[in-house]
Amino acid sequence: KAGVTQTPRYLIKTRGQQVTLSCSPISGHRSVSWYQQTPGQGLQFLFEYFSETQRNKGNFPGRFSGRQFSNSRSEMNVSTLELGDSALYLCASSLVVRYNEQFFGPGTRLTVL
Amino acid sequence: KNEVEQSPQNLTAQEGEFITINCSYSVGISALHWLQQHPGGGIVSLFMLSSGKKKHGRLIATINIQEKHSSLHITASHPRDSAVYICAVRDDKIIFGKGTRLHILP
């Protein structure tokens, strides 16, 4: 069974631009979560989707948004990029929310110049 | 005070030593996760616990719900165990510890 895939793996953008990251979960998994990892803050929860509905959201500004499609694939969007948005963005999938093991993708490393 | 505290932050040990990494949390949880992250960023879920103890190979994870504390043990440590180990707790949301950087010397 294929693992969680994320595209692109690396991305360089400039301040003010917007970016869209994609996550394809393991086949059959209906929950996708997104995380941001930086050297200063570590791993932080962005949002969680299940069956196309956002179930939870972390403490990030409205510039960060996401969605999930009917095939469980998910995208996250960051608008008006800031230097501090440079990070590794990870997604993880699980069968359902809360009580299941999560399987992580390799991440997208975003650099904002 | 962070809601999830890990100790130690850094640990260097000789191959073969018994390793213990601790995680204390201050919030109500439905489950606790131990994650492993190797250089390059890939994260692997090692354990998900809501009570008691789990074992997988040389890894053992325990949790004490009353004391809000969990430990991850590695027996007969090996250089390939060198990684960052991250504790995460979840109820509605997931909160991560800062991680413990483990380096096993051959």
- Tell me how close the Cα of A56 comes to any Cα of chain B, in angstroms: 7
Per cent of chain B over pLDDT 70 is 99
Show Cβ contacts of residue B106 under 8 Å, excluding neighbours closer than 6 positions: B15, B79
Instruction: Say how far apart CA A72 and CA B71 lie, in whole Å.
Output: 34
Average pLDDT, integer, range A20-31: 95
What is the average pLDDT score of chain A? 93
CA angle centred on A46, ends B81 and B39, rounded to 5°: 20
pLDDT classification of B46: cutoffs 50, 70, 90: very high
Instruction: Say how far apart CA A86 and CA A51 lie, in whole Å.
Output: 29
> How confident is the model at residue A99, as a pLDDT?
61
What element of type H or E holds A24?
strand A19-24
The residues that bridge with A78 in the sheet, in sequence order, are A19, A64
Which residue does chain B place closest to A40, by CA atoms?
Answer: B98
Instruction: Say how far apart CA A32 and CA B45 lie, in whole Å.
Output: 15
Instruction: Say how far apart CA B81 and CA B24 lie, in whole Å.
Output: 22
pLDDT in tens, A73-90: 999 999 999 999 999 999
CA A60 to chain centre: 12
Q: Does residue B5 carry a pLDDT above 90?
A: yes
Instruction: Say how far apart CA B91 and CA A102 lie, in whole Å.
Output: 14
Chain A CB contacts of B95 below 8 Å: 45
Chain B CB contacts of A43 below 8 Å: 86, 88, 96
Partner-chain contact A56 B92, CB within 8 Å? yes
Q: Does residue B10 carry a pLDDT above 80?
A: yes
> How confident is the model at residue B2, as a pLDDT?
76
pLDDT classification of A37: cutoffs 50, 70, 90: very high
The sign of the dihedral angle between the CA atoms of A43, B76, B78, B80 is negative
Q: Does residue B93 carry a pLDDT above 90?
A: no
pLDDT in tens, B59-91: 999 999 999 999 999 999 999 999 999 999 987
Q: Does residue B27 carry a pLDDT above 70?
A: yes
Chain A, 10 to 69: residues with Cβ < 8 Å from chain B are 33, 37, 42-45, 48, 56, 58
Chain B CB contacts of A42 below 8 Å: 86, 96-99
Phi/psi of residue A18, nearest 5 degrees: -120, 160
The DSSP 8-state label assigned to residue A25 in this structure reads P
The number of helices, as runs of H, and strands, as runs of E, in chain A is: 0, 11
Partner-chain contact A104 B45, CB within 8 Å? yes
